[in-house]
Every structure is written in structure tokens, then in C-alpha cells.
Amino acid sequence: MKNGETPVAPSAIAIEGQQHFTMEGPKDYETPKALTLEEIEQIIKDYKDAAIHAIEAGFDGVELHAAFGYLPNQFLAESANQRTDEYGGTNENRNRFVLEIMQEMVNAIGNDKVAIRLSPTSTYNNIVHTNPKEQFTLLIEELNKLPLSYIHIMNAPFPVDKFPQYPLDSVETFGKLCHHPIIANCGYNRETGEAEL
């Protein structure tokens, strides 16, 4: 339902091994168009404007969905982001897109009204991180400097046996680094949820 427009991404890398639903049934993912710096700047502004509209519509705040293969998550992951400019190459550069969005939204709607959802160990939509402990530690250290409402951390929803660099418990690994309240999500039952609390 894109009216013939090619989707965009940090780099022109298609999702493989999955299909998406269309009006004509399941189809392979197309190769997205790599964003230009000008387009990245506009998208960051779009997120800011969306936050403003949400507050004007009566919402208490907004949560940036930087998980599960959505655009902010793509910028974080080496598997989707192979840029060589200031938005790719290093952990700091791959984190930049998310941090700039978060800063713009905080500036636009105020303290304690912006949150973020992270999935440091999800492999959905071909997302792979080479060193999630190092990268998400750096990301959370920067997020700690912002007046956020909370940080929402997802545990791995799928087996990560093929990814020995992934921590088995993202909430335990990254949650203790956060200065903000934590939403812990994914893989809990009543007993393990109570134990986590």
C-alpha cells in the first residue's frame, strides 16, 4: 500500500527470509532506498512534529519505537546500516539518529513526556548487532542525560543461540544501567514477572 513508492532505510538492504502482507497476498520485501542526509534531517523533524501533534491530540506523551526492525532500530544495527557518513560506521554514529530524534521530541514537548522502546537482542526483520552490550551501553548512557519518562527494554523474543554476543537477559543487562524507570517486556510469565519485580 505504498502507491508505488520505494520504502526508505539507512542503507539499500532488503529483508531476506521473510515476506510481508500485501493486497495481492504475501510478497518478498523490496530493496529500500538509502536515505540522504537531507531526508534524514526531514524524518527527524517529522518525529518531532508527530510528538507535538500527539500532545495536541491529548496524549500524555510519546514512545519512540526503536525496536523490532523499525526505522530507528535499522539505524542502530550493522545489518541494516552500512553507511559511511555521520550516521554509520561506529556505535556512536549508529546511535546518532535515535538520539537526535529523542532530543528533538524532548525539546518539542517537554520533560518526562518522551520514552523509548529498545530491543537490543531481537533478530526480527534481519536485525543483527555485532556487539550489543557495547553499543546499547553507550546509547543508554546518552539517554540517561535526557529527561525521559521511561525506557522500555525488550528481552529476545526468539532463541538467540546463534548469537553468542547477545546477553540472555536484556532487561538485566541494560536495565541496571538506566537512570529512568524501566518497562520490562517479553518472555515473562506470572512467576518470572513477579521475580523480576
150 classed as catalytic: no
* 75-80-81 Cα angle (round to 5): 50
Q: Which of 29, 47, 70, 166 is catalytic?
A: 70
Q: Which grid coordinates belong to 176?
A: 541496571
The DSSP line for 112-155 is T-EEEEE-TT--GGG---S-HHHHHHHHHHHHTTS--SEEEEEP
3-state secondary structure of 109: helix
Task: Please say whether the beta carbons of 146 and 108 come within 8 A.
Answer: no
**How far apart are the C-alpha atoms of 106 and 134, rounded to whole Å?**
25
Q: Which residues contact 182 (CB under 8 A, 6 or more apart)?
A: 150, 151, 152, 153, 171, 175
Residues involved in catalysis:
70
